[in-house]
A and B are shown apart, each in its own frame.
Chain A
C-alpha cells in the first residue's frame, strides 16, 4: 500500500534578510486510497509544502522527514521523486517554448516507466487523455503551456496526472481559476485517478466548491506553516461558513 508520510517537516527560504522559516513542523500521513484536503489562508505555506515535497531547489529542508512507502524522498533528486511515484499538479504550470506537448509527454512517460511507451497505443492514450480534459488534439502539437489559458494549463496538468499514473498526487489549487464546466471536467479526471487502486491524493484548495465533486476523507486546516486542525468533510463546511478566523486567531 502506498503511503506518503510527512513528519515534523520544517522548511526555510532564503530572503534578502536571511533565511525565513515557512513550514514550522508539518505532520501528515496520506495512505493509499485516501484523499486529504488542505485548506488555509493565503501565504500560510501550502504551496511551500507541495514544492518542498516535489524537491524545488528554492526550498531548504531544515528538519523533519518525508517518506514514500518508507523510502526517504528528501534525499532524492526532483526527477527521482517523480519516478518513485510522486506527482505535483502546479498552481502555476511553467511554459516551455518550442517543446511540443506530445514530445514532453512521451519523454516523461518514458522516464517514469523506464521504457518508451508503445507508439500506437500511446498516441491513442494521449489523444484520449487530452479529449477527456476537453483539450482538442491540436494541443499535442503546441508548445508546453505556452499561450494556454489559465484553465487549459490546469486541465493539461490533470491530463498528465492520468497519463503518468503516479502513486501519490499533490494538486496545488488546481481548481482555482476554473469555470464550472472545467471544474467538473477536472474533478472527473481526478476521480478517475482516485478510482484506480491504492492512489493517494493531497488536494490543496481555497474553496469548498471542488470538494462537492471530490469528497475528501480528511480535511486539514493549514495556518502559519503547520496543520492547525484536522477533521472530516464537516470541517470544510465549517470553514465555508465561518472562514479561518477561529484558527488564525488561535495562533496569535
Chain B
C-alpha cells in the first residue's frame, strides 16, 4: 500500500467515524430548497466572484437555447426527451444550485444514446453555440452509453451566453467512454457546468475539461461508480488571461471497491487578475476497499498579478486502499530552462513558447482525440502569443 503521509493521517483521523456523506460534497437532490442562493461565504462558493455570474443563480426562467450543430454517426441517436424521462433514465441529480436550476428550468433534455456493443470510431461532436451574453440559457444533457460500447463525445462551447448546464454521463458495464468538454467561449461568456459520470462495472472513462475562453467558467467533473472495477481519468487544461476566472471542481466518489481515479489538471495564467481555482475532492468510502486514486494540479504563472488557488482534499473512510496520493504545485517559468534554451540562440519569447508547449504536451497527448490534439496545441500557443511579451519581467528580458 502506498499512502502519502498526509493521507495516512486522514486515514487515522477518519477511521473511527462512520460518516456517509462527504462534508465537501452535500448529497445530490433536485429539491431547490436544498440549494439556497449562495452568499459567497460557503466553502463551495468562496472562490467564485458571484457578481460576475450576472444573475445566473437567481432562478429566472428562460427559453433561450444554445444552437446544437452535430453529425451523429450511425448507431447513435440524439433526441429530445422530457425532464421526467431524464430522471427515469437515471440522470445524476444536481449537487449544487446552478445544476438544480438547469434541471428545473431547461424544459426538457437532450439524450445522446449509444446502444450496447456499439463501437463508434469518429468522435461525436456537439457544437454548442451561444449568440449573446443577453441570453440566459439552461442546458440539460444525458449521455447514455450501453454496456461494452465505445465512444468519444466532444462538447464544444463557443460564442457567448449566460449558460448553466447539467450533464450526466451514464456508462454501462465494460464500456469505454471519452468525453471532452471544450470551453472556447468569447471573452464575456459566463458558464456554470456540471458534468457527472456514473462508471459502470469494469468500465473505463476519460473526461477532459479544457477552458480557454469566457469571463467566468466554473465546471464540475464528478465521478461515481455503479460497480467494482471502474476506472476514471479526469484531465483538465486551462489558460487564464487578464481578468478571467476559470474554476474547475473535481469530485471522485469512490463508492465501490477496486475502482480507480486519476486526476491531472494543468493550467497557465497570464495578465492582471487572471484567476484560476482548482478543487480536487476525493472521497474513499468505507466499502471502497482496494481502490487507487491520484490527483495532481499544476499551475504555471506567466506574469505578475495572477492568482492560482489549488486545493486537493482527500477524505478516507477505509484503511484498505491500494494507493492514494495528491500533488499540487504552482510555479513560474524556470529560469534555468529558459537560460538553457536561450544559450542555444532561441529568443526569450520562443524559449517561453517551447517550455509552455512542453508543459502541456503530455496532457494534450493524453486527451486521446487526435482530431483535437493539434487544435489544443495551437490554441495554447496562440494564447501565449497574446500578451506574454508585455509580461516579460526585466530580468529575463535582459
Contact = CB atoms under 8 A, between A and B. Distances in A.
Contacts of A111: 344-347, 350
Contact of A94 (B339, B395, B397, B398): B339
**Chain B residues touching A, range:** 20 to 34
A160 B344 contact: yes
B221 to A, nearest CB: 23
A209 interface: no
B346 A79 contact: yes
A79 B345 contact: yes
A90 B340 contact: yes
B345 A82 contact: yes
Nearest to B335: A57
Given A78-B339, A103-B354, A107-B354, A97 B359 contact: yes
B46 interface: no
A159 B336 CA distance: 20
A90 B397 CA distance: 21
A82 B354 contact: no
Contacts of A107: 341, 346, 350, 354
A78 B344 CA distance: 9
B52 interface: no
B354 A96 contact: yes
A203 B354 CA distance: 30
Nearest to B340: A94
Contacts of A213: none
A56 interface: yes
Interface residues of A, number: 30
A237 to B, nearest CB: 33
Contact of A164 (B341, B345, B397): B345
B339 A96 contact: no
A96 B361 CA distance: 12
Interface string B340-370: 1111111110110011011111100000000
A87 B357 CA distance: 24
A224 B346 CA distance: 33
B358 A97 contact: yes
A57 B358 contact: no
Given A97-B359, A98-B362, A111-B347, A79 B354 contact: no
A79 B343 CA distance: 5
B396 interface: yes
A57 B361 CA distance: 28
Nearest to A113: B345
A78 B343 contact: yes
B337 interface: yes
B348 A79 contact: yes
Nearest to A164: B344
A99 B348 contact: no
Interface string B317-349: 000000000000000000111011111111110
A97 B398 CA distance: 24
Contacts of A144: 340
Interface string A100-140: 00011001100110000000000000000000000000000
B341 A96 contact: yes
A62 interface: no
Given A57-B395, A111-B345, A111-B347, A93 B340 contact: yes
A98 B353 CA distance: 12
A77 interface: yes
A142 to B, nearest CB: 12
A54 B311 CA distance: 40
Contacts of A143: 358
Nearest to A92: B336
Interface in B16-43: none
A88 B343 contact: yes
A83 interface: yes
3 A-B pairs with the lowest CB-CB distances in the bound complex, closest first: A98-B358, A98-B361, A108-B344
Given A82-B343, A99-B354, A111-B350, 15 more contacts: A57-B335, A57-B396, A57-B398, A79-B342, A79-B347, A79-B348, A82-B342, A82-B345, A94-B336, A96-B354, A107-B354, A108-B341, A108-B346, A111-B347, A112-B344
17 contacts: A77-B348, A78-B339, A78-B342, A78-B343, A79-B348, A83-B345, A87-B344, A88-B343, A97-B362, A98-B357, A98-B361, A99-B354, A99-B358, A107-B346, A108-B341, A108-B345, A164-B345
Interface of A: 54-57, 77-79, 81-83, 87-88, 90, 93-99, 103-104, 107-108, 111-112, 143-144, 160, 164
